[in-house]
Amino acid sequence: QKEVEQDPGPLSVPEGAIVSLNCTYSNSAFQYFMWYRQYSRKGPELLMYTYSSGNKEDGRFTAQVDKSSKYISLFIRDSQPSDSATYLCAMSARGNYQLIWGAGTKLIIKP
């Protein structure tokens, strides 16, 4: 079993829809949770970063962490065609610098 599981998709939704992207993990020591966005033929770029549990909001994006369920989510409101990309979750434990990555979910927003 992988430490971080992420549905590869693709997830196709119409423009303006609310998108929910998710990752599950097995290591209860993870405390730092990140979402990276990767456009085709580009490197990943950090989108959201959350420490421990709770929600964090940044514009149209909300990151949510549920440590009791070992489940993290990224919500995108009012989705735009420019949001079409692969979304990768990544996480690490306190004191351990290495990021553990999910496989990424490919998101397609249809105009």
> Using CB under 8 A as the criterion, which residues of the chain lie in contact with another protein when the complex forms?
4, 6, 8, 32, 41-46, 49, 51, 88, 90, 92-99, 101-104
Choose between 8 and 54: whose C-beta lies nearer to another protein.
8
| Closest by Cα among 60, 105, 56 to 84 | 105
Q: How far is the CB of 68 from another protein (least distance, A)?
A: 22
| Closest by Cα among 49, 50, 86 to 67 | 50
Choose between 15 and 45: whose C-beta lies nearer to another protein.
45
